[in-house]
Amino acid sequence: MLCFCDHDCLRCITYLATVKNDDELRKQSQQFYKNKFGLDILLFEIHCTGGHSEDILRLCRGCPWMKCCKEKGLSACSDCTEYPCKPLADYQEKYVNKCNQV
């Protein structure tokens, strides 16, 4: 199960914490976002049922890749004829499947 940016939901600690209802994983995810991005996310906000759901982590709500894919009618950036565009390639190199993963 992939997000629009091709981030693997099934390896994401936030997603796993949600589907397993696991507060230890939530704490791990909370600490990751604090250390990596300086974000203070409350434990109950560590909640996501997948990148294509309406119930996603607040950090992802303004995702530019989600907006672009929805405008083009695509399920993921990798379905686009322009894939990978420079902004996405830069983002993926820095973040996708390299962070907050098990």
Query: What pLDDT, in 10s, does the model give residues 9-27?
Result: 999 999 999 999 999 999 9
Report yes or no: 71 and 79 within 8 Å, Cβ to Cβ: no
Q: Which residues of the chain have pLDDT under 70?
A: 95-102
If DSSP codes are grouped into helix, strand and coil, which group holds residue 91? helix
Please count the residues of the chain: 102
**How far apart, in whole angstroms, are the C-alpha atoms of residue 12 and residue 59?**
14
Report yes or no: 9 and 15 within 8 Å, Cβ to Cβ: yes
Q: What is the pTM of this model?
A: 0.82
Count of C-beta atoms within a 10 Å radius of residue 46: 22
